[in-house]
Chain A
Amino acid sequence: MSFMEALRSALQAISANALRSILTMLGIIIGVAAVIAMVAIGSGAKARVNDQIRSLGANLAIISAGNVQVGGVRLGAGASSSLTDEDARAIKREIESIGAAAPFIRTQAQAIFQGTNWSTGIQAVDNDFFEAREWDVPVGRMFDPDELRRGEIVAILGQTVARTLFGSDDPLDQIIRVRNTPFKVIGVAAAKGQSAFGQDQDDVIFVPLETGRRRIMGRNYAKDRSVASVFVKFDQEAGMANGIEEIRALLRQRHRLTEEAEDDFSIRNLTEIANTATATANTLSFLLAAVAAVSLLVGGIGIMNIMLVSVTERTREIGLRLAVGARPRDVLAQFLIEATTLASIGGALGVALGLGITVAIARTAGWPVLVSPESVLIAVGVSGLVGVFFGFYPARRAARLDPIEALRRE
């Protein structure tokens, strides 16, 4: 018997007991649908995390001042002014794997333009910052070296600030006021979107580091040339752990720390944090796969059960087929194809249902979803394999029937 004939006969048998077939497929339908929907949601979330990681900038570490003891009390990051822009320059100069070292200071202040005002983050930076964060300034320009050196009162706006203060007007060459200082807008930074921690990264005004020290941050920063943090960008991810140790050694030396003294700064590997988030997403995917395996197992057992019933019901038919010349392997193939068809149809219906659920979730909850063709193919393929695996035992039972016994059965 050819494959097409066996397939036709299988479809006939399946449609003859439509309700029973659907109920049998239900396990596989639900399992596959759940996997398709969950994988779509999971990949969507993962893609979003990846976007956020990319928006942070690749191969990034942050050095923060602080972690000092004052009379036995350990103060948190940023509590002391141990880090200077000289440190940043030294790091960039002496450590080979570093691409950019961007010292910066951050504070919160009110920005005013004509009648509008807006509380926003002020970041005092140099041009290394834009390099480290892979952040473009498509409108206007970055700071020029003179502006940085002399501490001129110019500003680059984040998208959110530009939109809030200027609406659709062109902010270039306009004057905004921050802490009673009039800043000339020289550029608007590209949109960065949300950070991995849910902050709006575009709600920011950049000013030159020197300007920030003198005009906005207050006298402590101005006096000792310190900075709150330094973004360090490595050329590649591979050498980051070593590079961070080199930075630690360099800073300890520069800060003249004795061997028993603790660091007066802390270094965090942001890429590592991002990788941890990815690893978490991977763990989630693994759990999903486990759930899928269990549901397919249950579905497979359902198919085995119904195929055993079917073999029993059709014993006389099997006997007849054997009598008129079917070889045992013809009967085996027929029932195997029937089980596989049943499972594959279940898988296909599951995919359809899963896609429906995915679209519904994307529409109603607004979650990002990503359906990969691979997951669809794998789902259908695995369903088929489940059919072969769980269909084999009933099919072999059918093939091993004695034609005389089978024909005699009522």
Chain B
Amino acid sequence: MALIEARELSRVYDLDAGRVVALDRIDLDIEAGDMVAIMGPSGSGKSTLMNLIGCLDKPTGGSYKLDGVMVDQLDANGLAALRNQKIGFVFQQFNLLPRADAATNAELPMLYAGFNAKARRQRSLEALARVGLADRWHHRPMQLSGGQQQRVAIARALVNDPKLVLADEPTGALDSKTALDILALFQHLNRDGVTVVIVTHAPEVARHARRVVRFRDGRIMSDTRQEPVRAEDGLKELLAEAAS
């Protein structure tokens, strides 16, 4: 059984201007442990798909199973619980709480999972250690670089041990070196068994994935497996270029 099973998945918006078919009867399976890039230009339906597989939105047609749970039959509370337990989100703009330190930010999903304060703090520190920020737990977002802020966001995504980490243009707000840092972190996490889905329009991001699914006009245009480029290699090249 695949982690993600989408069958004939459709999302149609009824706007004043008329019906817009954002996603047109998609069939898509994603296996646990994979690292998948969802690609496509804006308007291709990739964001709509991300909202659907992230349980933020409900399809207008077809069915979607996440880890064996039929998502389209859940109400708002059920969706919230599913997001909380099974999905870790990483956003382009990090979306950290500006007045809270790194550990408190990383704890946020656990606030809604019923952990006590001590357990929360312990697990958030573990998650921060996983992303290499163990010594920055008390820093506020303002005191951290963009890459570090995104690491805090990734720690937040990992803190509930999700089945799936869903990243929406995670390197879009970062320079190329920091972007490679973050991609290396994703690859590292993936090798440890975390399923990673990255939504992006950038080929230089997508080439780090094991599988690339390209969208256009609400449909899957291509679905290919590839040998991923190691982000660490890219980093070494970058350093060598800087040295010469």
Please report A residues at the B interface, Cβ cutoff 8 Å: 1, 5, 12, 16, 316-317, 319-330, 403-404, 407
Please report B residues at the A interface, Cβ cutoff 8 Å: 51, 54, 56-57, 76-77, 80-81, 83-85, 89, 91, 95, 97, 99, 108-109, 111-113, 156, 160
Q: Kindly state the separation between the CA atoms of A326 and B84 in the bound complex, as whole angstroms.
A: 8
- B83: chain A residues within 8 A (beta carbon): 323-325
Q: How far is the CB of B85 from chain A (nearest CB, A)?
A: 7
Q: Kindly state the separation between the CA atoms of A316 and B141 in the bound complex, as whole angstroms.
A: 15
Say whether B99 contacts A326, CB under 8 Å: no
**Cβ contact of B56, chosen from A316, A323, A329, cutoff 8 A:** A323
**Cβ contact of B95, chosen from A329, A404, A407, cutoff 8 A:** A407
**Cβ contact of B108, chosen from A316, A319, A320, A407, cutoff 8 A:** A320
Q: Kindly state the separation between the CA atoms of A404 and B11 in the bound complex, as whole angstroms.
A: 14
Q: Kindly state the separation between the CA atoms of A316 and B89 in the bound complex, as whole angstroms.
A: 14
Q: Kindly state the separation between the CA atoms of A327 and B83 in the bound complex, as whole angstroms.
A: 10
**Cβ contact of A324, chosen from B51, B77, B156, cutoff 8 A:** B156
Say whether B95 contacts A326, CB under 8 Å: no
**A322-B80, A329-B77, A404-B51 provided; 19 other pairs, C-beta below 8 A?**
A1-B111, A320-B108, A321-B112, A323-B56, A324-B84, A324-B89, A324-B156, A325-B80, A325-B81, A325-B109, A325-B112, A325-B160, A326-B80, A326-B111, A327-B77, A327-B81, A404-B57, A407-B91, A407-B95
- 5 A-B pairs, CB-CB below 8 angstroms? A12-B99, A321-B108, A323-B56, A324-B89, A325-B112
Closest residue of B by beta carbon distance from A319: B95
- A329: chain B residues within 8 A (beta carbon): 77
Q: Kindly state the separation between the CA atoms of A243 and B156 in the bound complex, as whole angstroms.
A: 84
Q: Kindly state the separation between the CA atoms of A329 and B91 in the bound complex, as whole angstroms.
A: 24
Q: How far is the CB of A136 from chain B (nearest CB, A)?
A: 67
Q: Report which residue of A322, A323, A327 has the largest number of chain B beta carbons within 10 angstroms of its beta carbon.
A: A323
- A327: chain B residues within 8 A (beta carbon): 76-77, 80-81, 112
- How many A-B residue pairs have C-beta atoms within 8 angstroms? Tell me: 54
- A16: chain B residues within 8 A (beta carbon): 99
Q: Kindly state the separation between the CA atoms of A89 and B56 in the bound complex, as whole angstroms.
A: 94
- B81: chain A residues within 8 A (beta carbon): 325, 327
A interface: dominant SS: helix
**Cβ contact of A328, chosen from B51, B76, B89, cutoff 8 A:** B76
- B91: chain A residues within 8 A (beta carbon): 320, 407
Q: Kindly state the separation between the CA atoms of A403 and B57 in the bound complex, as whole angstroms.
A: 9
Say whether B112 contacts A326, CB under 8 Å: yes
Q: How far is the CB of B44 from chain A (nearest CB, A)?
A: 17
Q: Kindly state the separation between the CA atoms of A404 and B83 in the bound complex, as whole angstroms.
A: 13
- B56: chain A residues within 8 A (beta carbon): 323, 403-404
Q: How far is the CB of A16 from chain B (nearest CB, A)?
A: 6
Q: How far is the CB of B127 from chain A (nearest CB, A)?
A: 13
Closest residue of B by beta carbon distance from A326: B112
Known contacts A1-B111, A1-B112, A5-B111, A325 near B99 by CB under 8 Å: no
- B95: chain A residues within 8 A (beta carbon): 316, 319-320, 407
Say whether A325 contacts B113, CB under 8 Å: yes
- B111: chain A residues within 8 A (beta carbon): 1, 5, 326
Q: How far is the CB of A153 from chain B (nearest CB, A)?
A: 88
Say whether A325 contacts B84, CB under 8 Å: yes
Closest residue of A by beta carbon distance from B88: A324
- B84: chain A residues within 8 A (beta carbon): 324-325
Q: How far is the CB of B210 from chain A (nearest CB, A)?
A: 26
Closest residue of A by beta carbon distance from B111: A1
Known contacts A404-B51, A407-B91, A324 near B99 by CB under 8 Å: no
Q: How far is the CB of B221 from chain A (nearest CB, A)?
A: 24
Q: How far is the CB of B99 from chain A (nearest CB, A)?
A: 6
- A404: chain B residues within 8 A (beta carbon): 51, 56-57
Q: Kindly state the separation between the CA atoms of A364 and B68 in the bound complex, as whole angstroms.
A: 76
Q: How far is the CB of A258 from chain B (nearest CB, A)?
A: 89
- A407: chain B residues within 8 A (beta carbon): 91, 95
Q: How far is the CB of B225 from chain A (nearest CB, A)?
A: 30
Say whether A328 contacts B77, CB under 8 Å: yes
Q: Kindly state the separation between the CA atoms of A326 and B108 in the bound complex, as whole angstroms.
A: 9
- A328: chain B residues within 8 A (beta carbon): 76-77, 80
- B54: chain A residues within 8 A (beta carbon): 323
Q: How far is the CB of B96 from chain A (nearest CB, A)?
A: 8
- A321: chain B residues within 8 A (beta carbon): 108, 112
Q: How far is the CB of B87 from chain A (nearest CB, A)?
A: 9
- A326: chain B residues within 8 A (beta carbon): 80, 111-112
Q: How far is the CB of B57 from chain A (nearest CB, A)?
A: 6
- B113: chain A residues within 8 A (beta carbon): 325
Closest residue of B by beta carbon distance from A316: B95
- A323: chain B residues within 8 A (beta carbon): 54, 56, 83, 89
Say whether B108 contacts A324, CB under 8 Å: yes
Q: How far is the CB of B211 from chain A (nearest CB, A)?
A: 24
Closest residue of A by beta carbon distance from B84: A325
Q: Report which residue of B54, B80, B89, B97 has the largest number of chain A beta carbons within 10 angstroms of its beta carbon.
A: B80
- A403: chain B residues within 8 A (beta carbon): 56
Say whether A317 contacts B97, CB under 8 Å: yes
Say whether A325 contacts B85, CB under 8 Å: yes
- B85: chain A residues within 8 A (beta carbon): 325
Q: How far is the CB of A19 from chain B (nearest CB, A)?
A: 16
List 8 A-B pairs, minimum CB-CB distance, nearest first: A325-B84, A324-B109, A325-B112, A327-B80, A320-B95, A327-B77, A1-B111, A326-B112
- A319: chain B residues within 8 A (beta carbon): 95
Q: Kindly state the separation between the CA atoms of A322 and B91 in the bound complex, as whole angstroms.
A: 14
